[in-house]
Amino acid sequence: MRAVLAQLSRVREADPSSRVIIFTQFVSFMDVLEPAVQKMGIRVCRLDGSMSEDARRQQIHKFQTNPLFGVFIISLMAGGLGLNLTEANHVFLVDQWWSPSLEHQAIDRCHRLG
């Protein structure tokens, strides 16, 4: 977690308007990471599999439309497919998955054309 926070700090130091997606496969890690990022003064959106469809839509909309939310923490399984998050300009993969193609699809959330 220290490495993630240090890298996030470097990214935000270089460009305070940077938008970052952080993918992890562990919801328990999200529970620890979210308050740590908020302590850095960064607003956070979150998406995990336990959320209702409406809550998911709200979080996605908030990140897409409000540049004050600088970090989007996403469960790899809940948000690795079908999202368009081109507002982000950095993607962190906190822990690796067994399938590199799944990781590539997750990274593609912010590298879509359009």
Q: Convert the pLDDT of each residue in 54-70 to its tens digit.
A: 999 999 999 999 999 99
d(CA 28, CA 14) in angstroms, rounded, equals 29
Side chain identity, residue 10: R
What is the predicted pLDDT for the residue at 46? 96
What is the predicted pLDDT for the residue at 31? 96
* Overall size of the chain counted in residues: 114
Is the full-model pTM beyond 0.85? yes
Residue 112 within any structural domain of the chain: no
Residue 114 within any structural domain of the chain: no
The total of structural domains in the chain comes to: 1
CATH number where 64 lies: 3.40.50.300
Does residue 105 or residue 19 have the better pLDDT?
Answer: 19
Domain that holds residue 89: 2-107
Stretch 36-65: mean pLDDT, rounded? 94
Residue 75 within any structural domain of the chain: yes
The residues facing 72 across adjacent strands are: 21, 45
**For residue range 1-19, what is the model confidence (pLDDT) as tens digits?**
999 999 999 999 999 999 9
Q: Which runs of E-coded beta strand occur in 25-100?
A: 43-47, 69-75, 90-93
Residue 68 within any structural domain of the chain: yes
